[in-house]
A = this chain, B = another copy of it.
Amino acid sequence: MSSIKYALLSLLAREPLSGYDMKQYMNGRVSFFYKINNNQLYPTLAKLEAEGLVQLESHERESYRPARKVYSITDKGIDFLKAWVMEAEEPRSLDDFMLKQYNSWLVEPEAMIGILREKRKEHEERLKIYRGKIAGFREQQAVYPSRDPLFSSIAVIEMGIRNEESYMEWCDRVIEALSRDEI
């Protein structure tokens, strides 16, 4: 159920890479969605190959180094990735959703627009809940001093509100770009 296999496929959908390359991408400072370690990486790659989702493209030894194994994604792998991107099942985290979005280019724009409209709706709902919560606090008391637990509660909910708002704005922006068919 882990998303790591999808992360690897997402990279390979763009260009053939070795395990080492993928690790560099994923653990680079400009945070990719998931960090990976060797123990996840190499067994997962082997599994993906066994399932026919990726294939070994070259296996060349540069003098002294261990042979560099470059993988590419197969057609089956592309289909598998596409199906995951489009499936209705709730992604578990923002990173999970964004990893799917990273593959939006694989999918028909109309389908993507549908997914994004759904998402937008969800975040609108949550925004309402958060706004309601703060309003409830404010009804009891206009302001809370910084050593009151409710100070912290309000601060945290306000972060939630900002997140939901920017998420919605982003959905609008991408829906619009998909409608124009360019970003």
Contact = CB atoms under 8 A, between A and B. Distances in A.
Interface of A: 13-14, 30, 98, 101-106, 109, 112, 129-130, 133, 143-156, 158-159, 162-163, 165-167, 169-170, 173-174, 177-178, 181-183
A151 B98 contact: no
A170 B183 CA distance: 28
B177 A155 contact: yes
Contacts of A109: 146-147
B105 A156 contact: no
A106 to B, nearest CB: 8
A102 B156 contact: yes
B159 A101 contact: yes
A177 B151 CA distance: 9
Given A143-B182, A144-B182, A182-B143, A173 B149 contact: no
A156 B153 CA distance: 29
B151 A182 contact: yes
A170 B178 contact: no
B182 A133 contact: no
Contact of A163 (B106, B144, B163): B163
